[in-house]
Amino acid sequence: MSQQSEDGKVLADIIKNVHRRLRQELKESGDSESSWINHCRNEDRLKEYAKSMHQLATEHWERLRESNPDTSRINWTWSFLSNYFLGNGCEIQRQKSKLYIDWPKLMFKDSKISVLDVGSCYNPFKEFKELDVLPVDLCPALESVYQCDFLTVPVGEKTFLEDQSVLSLASSSFHCVVFSFLLEYFPSCSQRWTCCEKAQQLLMEEGVLVIITPDSKAAHSNSKVMRSWREALEAIGLKRIKYEKLLHAHCMAFRKTSIDPPITSDDRQLLASKMYIPQDFHSQSDSEQEENDHIKFTEEEVAEGFTYLPMLND
């Protein structure tokens, strides 16, 4: 293994260890809110995570992106957005919906696509001049990215920014919300669900939520997870319109439509449980896992998920 590949492995291990500790803390406390608050107060851990993710993305994933562009989550997202908003992608989805109505014209400020990049780290989408990006992160790696705890930031009538921090985000104001390698960060289904509900509130009608989740296995290996997410999001008017399995990730785009009928509190709890990842079940014994009715993973599947981050290997 080359030195660069070894360095990439060290960085990925730092990131994965943070996720493991979060899951362990949730297991010990049983309270996702308190465990998240404690995590957000641990500035040393947050800064180490941000620095490692920044290095891994810019020094290792970028090399892979240059040598094999088809593996890039950044390229995939840009290709989708340019086709959907600047090409005929949106019109195709309107025709597929078979709703024969007068669709409103999509409005763009300064002819740019408004993007909220959640968990941005270092604002990788800044290179695309057609995008108006608001990059936010719990602990930004660069000063140009705004600090924001997406789980708790309020949604209101306007977006308020102050001293590189986000105080609130405006509802129905973004063409696109991006969750790239974000949802696996959270240790509970309910937190992932909160993020998705908030994204739905922030999107304009016909806007899109892009979710990219890492997985180096074949597409079918975690297909039940992706199917469960699709079912949950469809219930709140986010219909999946594109899916593609890259070498190291599942890439999905969900188009916002109206919700009918409204979601009840009981529905919300059930839907939140569908936002699981294999690591949620690490703590179960074999017998407990066999008794779990809504999901049955093999040992290899349970050990997979986010444990494989994209990196260069010899």
Tens of pLDDT, residue by residue over 88-125, are 999 999 999 888 888 888 888 888 999 999 999 999 99
Instruction: Tell whether the model's pLDDT for residue 312 goes beyond 70.
Output: no
Query: 132, exposed or middle or buried, with CB in 10 Å at 0-12, 13-18, 19+?
Result: middle
Give the whole-angstrom CA distance, residue 20 versus residue 14.
10
Domain count for the chain: 1
Helix (H, G, I), strand (E, B) or coil at 49: helix
For residue 140, what are the contacts with CB-CB under 8 A and spacing of at least 6? Answer: 50, 120, 121, 122, 146, 147, 164
Average pLDDT, the chain: 87
Please state the rounded mean pLDDT for residues 44-49: 96
Instruction: Kindly list the distances between the CA atom of residue 151 and the CA atoms of 6, 40, 49, 190, in Å, as whole numbers in the listed order.
Output: 34, 11, 18, 10
Where does the pLDDT of residue 3 fall: very low under 50, low under 70, confident under 90, or very high at 90 and above?
low
Helix (H, G, I), strand (E, B) or coil at 257: coil
Residue 166 domain-assigned (yes or no): yes
The predicted structure's pLDDT at residue 298: 42
User: What DSSP designation does 58 have?
Assistant: I
305 in a labelled binding site: no
163 in a labelled binding site: no
Q: What is the pTM of this model?
A: 0.88
- Cβ(57)–Cβ(122) under 8 Å? yes
CATH assignment of the domain containing 185? 3.40.50.150
The predicted structure's pLDDT at residue 305: 39
Q: Is the pLDDT higher at 219 or at 186?
A: 186
Partners of 176 in the β-ladder: 115, 208
The predicted structure's pLDDT at residue 102: 84
- Cβ(56)–Cβ(12) under 8 Å? yes
Report the b/e string of 104-127 with b at 16+ CB within 10 A. Answer: eeeeeeeeebbbbbbbbbbbbbee
Paired tokens of 52: 């490692």
pLDDT in tens, 266-303: 999 999 999 999 888 865 433 333 333 334 434 343 33
The predicted structure's pLDDT at residue 197: 96
Residue 170 domain-assigned (yes or no): yes
User: What DSSP designation does 106 have?
Assistant: P
The predicted structure's pLDDT at residue 2: 59
Instruction: Tell whether the model's pLDDT for residue 313 goes beyond 50.
Output: no
For residue 75, give its domain range: 3-308
Residue 314 domain-assigned (yes or no): no
Residue 295 domain-assigned (yes or no): yes
Please state the rounded mean pLDDT for residues 55-66: 87
Instruction: Kindly list the distances between the CA atom of residue 5 and the CA atoms of 53, 66, 288, in Å, as whole numbers in the listed order.
Output: 15, 16, 38
Query: 71, exposed or middle or buried, with CB in 10 Å at 0-12, 13-18, 19+?
Result: middle
Residue 313 domain-assigned (yes or no): no
Closest CA to 120 of 72, 77, 180: 180
Residue 182 domain-assigned (yes or no): yes
The predicted structure's pLDDT at residue 220: 81
Where does the pLDDT of residue 217 fall: very low under 50, low under 70, confident under 90, or very high at 90 and above?
confident
The predicted structure's pLDDT at residue 31: 93
pLDDT in tens, 234-258: 999 999 999 999 988 999 999 998 8
Paired tokens of 200: 């739905």
Residue 114 domain-assigned (yes or no): yes
Residue 91 domain-assigned (yes or no): yes
